[in-house]
Amino acid sequence: MSGRTTNVGGVVSLLGAFLAAAVITGFLSAGLFLPAVGAIGGSVRTVVDLFDSLPDNFTTSPLAEQSVILAADGTKIATPYDENRVIVPLNEIASVMRTAQVAIEDHRFYEHGGADLQGILRAFISNQATGELTGGGSTLTQQYVKITLQENALRAGDKAGAAAATARNYGRKIQELKYAIQLEKTLTKDQILEGYLNLVYYGDRAYGVEAASQHYFGHGAKTLNLQEAALLAGIVQNPGTSDPVNFPEKSLARRNVVLDRMKDLGLIKDADWKAARAVPLAAMLKVTPAKNSCQSSDYPYFCDYVLAWLKQDPSLDAVLGRGEAQRVQAIYRGGLTIQTTLDPAMARVANEEITRKVPIGNDEEIGSAAAILDTKTGAVKAIGQNTTYSVKPANRGETAVNWSVDSRYGGSIGFSFGSTAKIFTLVTALEAGWPTTSSVFAKAASPSKGADYTSKEIHGACGLGGGGWNVRNDINFPEGEISLAEATAKSINTAFVGMAIQLGGDPCKIRDTGWRMGLHQGNGKEIPPYPSAIILGTWSASPMTMASTYQTIANEGVYCPPIPVMSIVKDGKALPLPALGSACEKRVDPEVARGVTSLLEGVLRNGGTADNAGLVGGRPAAGKTGTTDNHNETWFVGYTPQLTTAVWVGTPDDKNNARRVTDLCMRQMTETKGCSAGRYAALFGMTIAAPVWKSIMDRALEGQPKVPFISPGTQIVNGEKVDIPDIARRSLDDAKALLLQSGFVPSVVKVYSNYRVGTVVGTTPKNQATRGSVVKILVSQGPAPAPTAPPEPAPPG
């Protein structure tokens, strides 16, 4: 059905004759034309013929209805809508509301057909007398037709059609009349009234009687009383200037007009009329603002994230449409019930623990965010950050940017993730056959003096490209071998660079591992092919992304993309969404994942970089700290078999990226002195991020069983022996490089031999060893010296 009314302006001059003849001859009996028109004058017959030729194919389109976004426990998060409307059947609307609306708009509604000839003629005479078309005479059915035509045009983006649907001219009124007559042939009076009460505007962005009742009175339309029903019914005539929130005096006056009309028609008793009129407007109202925008939600950042995910995720193509325009239509006009994975209790815990350590608007301008995932399904349980949501931030600590998620979901480009990247090197090493008990060669480095690496050591597509790289450690470490367990627990940078060298020297293998586990930049792209970004995390990712990568290992190698929605229901029927966990797939061998977990458990034990973050009661947990060179981005990402959580603490703005964070005094924004939230000489992963992670996990897991990790098998722990390359008679440098590339830790031992001094003569062990184990390079120091004769004994004396 077109949103435009047919142009019948040529009949205006004949309308008076038409109406008079219709009333006198009964041609419009109960709203239907009779065929006998021969006795009527030619001009009237012309009007009747033209009326009969007008289109009557009036159809209604689905009304725009608010959707509702719920937390996992049913808590309302937001109600996105273009029109704040909740459609209900007539039996869910109080009878007094139906009576009040009919009384004030069309008291003969149940008596006439689609057209009330008495009303039309009365309005026509009035209009002719004044010389203006001021309206009037429309039945409730005609009003329903007019508003439906306008709604359909607006839905189609037809502004001209919407204007035509409400234009003040006889042509529009005649077409409206024809549609009304047709509508009453196909629908009952109650069906028309139900559609009308769900359609009309009740002011202050409330469409339909149910949304209006909830908005103004805090309860549904089924329990409306007399004075409430009269107030709502009175708004419809001029909703833009008579709602009780913005125009209380006019609204009260209109309420009383409706009550008076109901009394005059004998629909209510005098006592009820007096009692209803005596109720003050303020005593009636319990205005509940609709949570249309995420800004009004109790969970604004999660709300923003869910809406962005709904508009973009490809798994919803068959449910919400392929393009964003279709999805916006479905979300804001489709009346969906969207149940999310949000756990309100966990969200509260995350925000409380973050802001306790990193206050909102703190003087140091330090930000913090966390993302919590269900380890087994990837369901997003909660996100949190130390800011107040604002689309127009005016104060420190206000932003609409969601630090927990990627930029496509309303987030930033992410934050440098530091040594949390080391998990990808560990996975790559164990996949290459390294046992968890293996060792690695690390160059000497300290916080002040780094170790130098060249493109000969780190090469290939992800190598140094002819340049050099100076790598420092956060603690002093002399050159030598170190076990994987100790290197991980103490986060020795040069050990992990050494691992990359021993894995072949091209970090692209490690980069591919990260991508496979879900690692990407905040813009969705792969981490660039730079050794520092791949091995030591100098590039950026969001907390959600880092939690997701660690979830892969926590879930024994099964990656689950983060999912914030459990179900979508429309008209009482569940839409065919993929079930939680159905998108999970194996990305890492389970035994490798178990081995990595066993190494990451050491980070939380005595001597590890997060030995202050062990969970209450000895609950099994694993994780990794992360700290950038300037100490301006710090992390802890950790997990149990039930939950995986990433916590970031650092400088959120680009202007602070080069800032070296030291001597922190953390206090609440309301305080002017003191460091009530803590004082820190420098920012490390263990300083704030790890304790915040511990606090969140302890509270989030309270009451849940302590689930142990599955231990890795003997092959992952002890490894499988592989061939040692033949390095005899190679140069010492070449011998070291070959052993490193084969995954062994070279150690030089000088031996006597008949080879010239400095010649590499072999290895110990000779033929096989486990990857990551120490292989001694035997270097000749020449023939053994001739034995010296024992001294002659002294002559007896």
Domain boundary residue, one of 700, 730, 755: 700
Mean pLDDT of 139-165: 82
Is the residue at 501 inside a domain?
Answer: yes
The mean-pLDDT minimum among 108-117, 159-168, 634-643 falls in 159-168
Is 454 or 64 the better-scoring residue by pLDDT? 454
Domain residues for the domain of 519 are 415-423+452-560+575-700
- Residue 129 is predicted with a pLDDT of 55
Query: What span, in angstroms and rounded, lies between the C-alpha atoms of 289 and 81?
Result: 13
64, 220, 250, 607, 717 from 207: Cα distances, Å: 9, 13, 19, 63, 66
Q: Is residue 39 included in any domain, yes or no? A: yes
> For residue 45, what pLDDT is reported?
52
Is residue 476 within 8 A of residue 712, CB to CB? The reply is: no
Helix or strand or coil: residue 190? Answer: helix
* pLDDT above 80 for 183: yes
Six token digits for residue 164: 């035509």
Q: Are residues 189 and 44 in the same domain?
A: yes
Would 730 be classed as within a structural domain?
A: yes
CATH of the domain at 532: 3.40.710.10
Q: How far apart are CA 99 and CA 259, in angstroms?
A: 11
751 lies in the same domain as 683: no
Residue 55: how many other CB atoms lie within 10 Å: 13
What is the average per-residue pLDDT within 55-77?
Answer: 86
Buried b (16+ CB within 10 A) or exposed e, 623-635: bbbbbbbbbbbbb
Is residue 121 within 8 Å of residue 243, measured between CB atoms? no
pLDDT of residue 785: 87
- pTM value is 0.83
Instruction: Answer yes or no: do 588 and 468 share one domain.
Output: yes
Task: Name the β-bridge partners of 682.
Answer: 662
* Model pLDDT, residue 52: 61
If you average pLDDT over residues 396-400, what whole number do you get?
93
Is the pLDDT assigned to residue 31 strictly greater than 70? no
Q: What is the pLDDT of residue 180?
A: 86
| Cα 317 to Cα 322: distance, rounded to the nearest angstrom | 5
Q: Nearest 5°: CA angle at 328, between 327 and 330? A: 60
pLDDT tens digits, residue range 319-337? 999 989 999 999 999 999 9
Same domain as 186, residue 158: yes
Which is nearest to 608 in space by CA: 625, 594, 628, 593? 625
pLDDT at 239 over 50: yes
Question: Which of these three, 168, 200, 232, is where a domain ends?
Answer: 200
Least confident interval from 88-102, 343-357, 782-796: 782-796
The per-residue pLDDT for 141 is: 93
Closest to 640 (Cα-Cα) out of 696, 719, 692, 592: 696
Task: Name the band, by pLDDT with cuts 50, 70 and 90, for residue 9.
Answer: very low
pLDDT at 670: 79
Give Rg (Cα) of the chain: 39
Would residue 158 count as lying in a domain?
A: yes
469 is written with which tokens? 């790289």
Beta carbons within 8 Å of 748's beta carbon, 6+ residues apart: 732, 736, 776, 777, 779
User: Do 597 and 640 share a domain, yes or no?
Assistant: yes
CA torsion sign, 669 to 675 to 681 to 682?
negative
Backbone φ and ψ of 640, nearest 5°: -125, 175
**pLDDT at residue 466 is higher than 70:** yes
Buried b (16+ CB within 10 A) or exposed e, 454-467: ebebbbbebbbeee
Q: Answer whether 649's CB lies under 8 Å from 689's CB.
A: yes
The letter for the amino acid at 56 is D
For residue 741, the domain's CATH number is 3.30.10.20
pLDDT (average), residues 663-670? 83
Closest CA to 430 of 268, 565, 320, 591: 591
Nearest CA to 758 among 724, 787, 737, 733? 733
Q: Of 737, 723, 718, 736, which is closest to residue 769 (Cα–Cα)?
A: 723
Burial 753-779 (b: 16+ CB within 10 A, else e): bebeeebbbbbeeeeebbbbbbbbbbb
Dist CA 24 CA 39 (whole Å): 12
Q: Is position 119 within any domain? A: yes
Query: What mean pLDDT, rounded, does the chain reach?
Result: 89
In a domain, 435, yes or no: no
Do 652 and 726 lie in one domain? The reply is: no
Residues 642 and 730 in one domain: no
> Are 597 and 650 part of one and the same domain?
yes
Count: domains in the chain: 3
Say whether both 17 and 115 belong to one domain. Answer: yes
Q: List helix spans (H) across 458-492.
A: 484-490
d(CA 774, CA 770): 9
Which CATH number characterizes residue 35's domain?
1.10.3810
Distance, C-alpha 381 to centroid of its chain: 11
For residue 788, tell me if it sits in a domain. no
Portion of the chain with pLDDT greater than 70, in percent = 87
Residues 518, 659 within the same domain: yes
Task: Indicate the helix (H) or strand (E) that contains 636.
Answer: strand 633-639
Question: Same domain, yes or no, for 553 and 457?
Answer: yes
403 close to 543: Cβ distance less than 8 angstroms: yes
Q: Which pLDDT band, with edges at 50, 70 and 90, does 55 fall under?
A: low
Assess whether 512 and 618 both reside in one domain: yes
Q: Which H/E stretch holds residue 206?
A: strand 206-207
**Residue 245 pLDDT exceeds 60:** yes
- Whole-angstrom Cα distance, residue 772 to residue 294? 52
For residue 25, give the 3-state DSSP assignment: helix
Token pair in block for residue 281: 């407007």
Confidence of residue 791 (pLDDT cuts 50, 70, 90): confident
**Predicted pLDDT of residue 655:** 52
Confidence of residue 177 (pLDDT cuts 50, 70, 90): confident
Q: Establish if 214 belongs to a structural domain.
A: no
Does the pLDDT of residue 35 top 60, yes or no?
A: no
Picking from 461, 490, 460, the residue whose alpha carbon sits closest to that of residue 477 is: 490
E strand or H helix that includes residue 422: helix 422-431
Among residues 200, 230, 265, the one where a domain terminates is: 200
166 has a pLDDT exceeding 80: no
pLDDT at 295: 87
Q: Are 330 and 336 in contact (CB under 8 A)?
A: yes
Distance CA 120, CA 733 (A): 104
- Positive/negative CA dihedral, 76, 79, 84, 87: negative
Res. 134: pLDDT tops 80: no
Q: Mean pLDDT across the stretch 599-609? A: 98
